[in-house]
Structure 1
């Protein structure tokens, strides 16, 4: 496990798993939100994102957390040796995202984009959760289905499976 792509809907625990795996396997961690957004929720240009993303993929070791632009996902999956898809039921994603947003009232997300307060984006986040579940999820399922033979695919479908994964791979 040296090139790991973690993807899934918002509020599913991706960033927490990413931090734990990065520590357990001594991997440099790259949250896509930090590449995709500049302070004040200003999006990075497609070219700027692509250059940064390609530079990360060219490294020998990495763990990448999140989506980024859809056109970059397949390249990331092809370079990864391990793909982790956090795919809880939709209501779990909403509930956990709401709890995270409330925590952001008091402290910023440690892996969130710098200068981008989370609370004002709550309604946009909830709309994104819906869209990712109904449009992004089928796309990811098709991609990982085609990579079953060549990659280690870990499909986490519930909070219980997430806890078991963390216990198995991240226990120190």
Structure 2
């Protein structure tokens, strides 16, 4: 487990927190895609810049890259030896998104770009709700393909499974 993609069904699945914890127990540097994508004040990076930044990271001997951004999966997929997929229920994802909004009100989280103060709007919540089912189906198919390609795939669906994975890995190091 040297080149690890941490992806999830939705915002609020726990990708950033999980990746940070995995980085702590493995000593592998974590790259949060939101930090590469979002420039100060929620300005989007160009596709060229975003892609180039990822191309640099995947050349390293070890990495944990956290985030979906499915349009750039082809940059990470060929290099990853391990994929960890978090699929928590929609209600849990929504709760966590709302909790994060309150917890980081007026602040910038360390997993997003500088100057990107936490925000939420109806469109974002609607996006999460309206695309959850389709993304869940597509991600399940993607995990099956990764397994067929010989990647190690971990499919974690509950907080207990997530904690258990980290605990087991921590004991094995």
Q: TM-score, normalised by structure 2?
A: 0.89
CA contact (8 A) 2:107 2:118 kept: no
Task: Indicate the residue corresponding to 1:34 in structure 2.
Answer: 35
SS of corresponding position for 1:79: coil
Task: Indicate the residue corresponding to 1:94 in structure 2.
Answer: 94
CA contact (8 A) 2:87 2:158 kept: yes
Write the mapping of 1:1-172 to structure 2, written as runs, cut at 5 A. Answer: 1-8=1-8, 9-68=10-69, 70-105=70-105, 107-119=107-119, 121-149=120-148, 150-170=150-170
Count of residue correspondences? 170
- How much has 1:145 moved relative to structure 2? 0.8
- How much has 1:132 moved relative to structure 2? 4.5
CA contact (8 A) 2:54 2:75 kept: no
CA contact (8 A) 2:107 2:117 kept: no
CA distance in 2, matches of 1:54, 1:93: 29
* CA RMSD after TM alignment: 1.9
CA contact (8 A) 1:74 1:143 kept: no
- How much has 1:134 moved relative to structure 2? 2.8
Write out per-residue CA displacement over residues 33-85 of structure 1, whole angstroms, 9 at most, x where no aligned residue.
Answer: 011111111110011111111111121111011112x2211431221111011
Q: TM-score, normalised by structure 1?
A: 0.89
Structure 2 unaligned blocks of 5 or more: none
CA distance in 2, matches of 1:170, 1:33: 26
